[in-house]
Amino acid sequence: MARIAVDAMGGDHAPLEIVRGAEAASSENIAEIVLVGDENAIAPLLAHSSAIEIVHTPVFVDMHESPSIALRRKRDSSINKAFGLLKTGSVEAVVSAGNSGATMAFAIFTLGRIGGVERPAILTSHPNAKGAASILLDAGGTVDCRPSHLVQFAIMGSVFARHALGIESPRVGLLSNGEEETKGNELTRETHAILKTLDLNYLGYVEGTELYNGRADVVVTDGFVGNVALKVAEGVAESMVAFLEGYISKQNVRDKAGQDLLSEVLKHLSLRMDYSEYGGVPLVGVNGVSIICHGKSDSRAIKNAIAQAKGFVGSGLNECIKDAIQYYASPKQE
């Protein structure tokens, strides 16, 4: 069984929801769990019969702490101890709902980047109109990007889509403010010029709608734009759900059958938008399997993230990324 370290202290609802999610994953035999964090806070939350191991450290990174300061001062934090366990081979993956900037910083520091990778990226999946998933990266890992970073995101996203989603020739688009070559900003124009020369299935510029209509399998952007895009999507979805809730409660629907029907629809719609369903998102480009969860994660999200992490253990994804990065970096024979 896969052995997975979970940062018990990271997340808005840590440690309670994290511990509960870990217990659920453990009791359902999804994985063998190591909880990293303050034993005094964790142990009382565990059942007596729990098979979960605790690796104790009283230090943890606050949700709003500066990643660079945490990196300097909190080497003994729960998140970095978790990566230490992964580094030494004591566990096979790390799951964290904590400060994502600090998680990323410690992943780079302790695990190191995959050979040739300049910057890691956070990779998110979006259910699209074709019943499949479109990938967005970077969703917030690296905010100030150079063209070479975006080119590597395109390569890593393409490898991920082939490897994890089984798409033979993933269509890769570069997120822009319009599809024409005359659009884009300085960063996208330089990136576009490079991507055109690589033998990726490159579509050129795509717009934000492309994340949802299924025309692109992989959408590439920097971590600033990617994160804004994610949060905007969350905002729109929440506002539409709130509109429907308001519609029901405002007595537009007077009969019980109609109210039940709308509540049912609302449940499906909310579930579709619910990050807890999906668990977490992988950090790609570092040596090891690392799943980053939403700060608001509840126990279900944590359990699903553990299951997700398990899926990547032993999958060979990182070796494929390494090979692809090297393949595209080496000069080609004409």
> Which residues of the chain form contacts with a second copy (CB under 8 A)?
64-68, 101, 127-129, 140, 143-144, 175-178, 180, 182-186, 188, 207-213, 221-225, 227-240, 242-244, 247, 253, 255, 257-258, 261-262, 265, 268-269, 272-273
Query: What is the nearest approach in angstroms of a second copy to the Cβ of residue 234?
Result: 6
Which of 70, 195 has the CB closer to a second copy?
70
Q: Which residues contact 2 (CB under 8 A, 6 or more apart)?
A: 31, 32, 92, 93, 309, 310, 313, 314
Distance of alpha carbon 103 from its chain centroid, rounded?
12
Query: What is the nearest approach in angstroms of a second copy to the Cβ of residue 95?
Result: 21
Strand 133-137 versus strand 121-127 pairing type: antiparallel
Of 4, 112, 128, 14, nearest to 62 by C-alpha is 14
Query: What is the nearest approach in angstroms of a second copy to the Cβ of residue 192?
Result: 13
Phi, psi at 151, each rounded to 5° = -60, -45
Query: What is the nearest approach in angstroms of a second copy to the Cβ of residue 176?
Result: 8
Which of 196, 296 has the CB closer to a second copy?
296
**Separation of first and last alpha carbons in the chain:** 47
Which of 67, 311 has the CB closer to a second copy?
67
- Which neighbouring-strand residues pair with 56? 37
Which of 77, 299 has the CB closer to a second copy?
77
Query: What is the nearest approach in angstroms of a second copy to the Cβ of residue 120?
Result: 16
**Is the distance from CB of 107 to CB of 119 less than 8 angstroms?**
no
Which of 47, 271 has the CB closer to a second copy?
271
Q: How far apart are CA 71 and CA 275, in angstroms?
A: 28
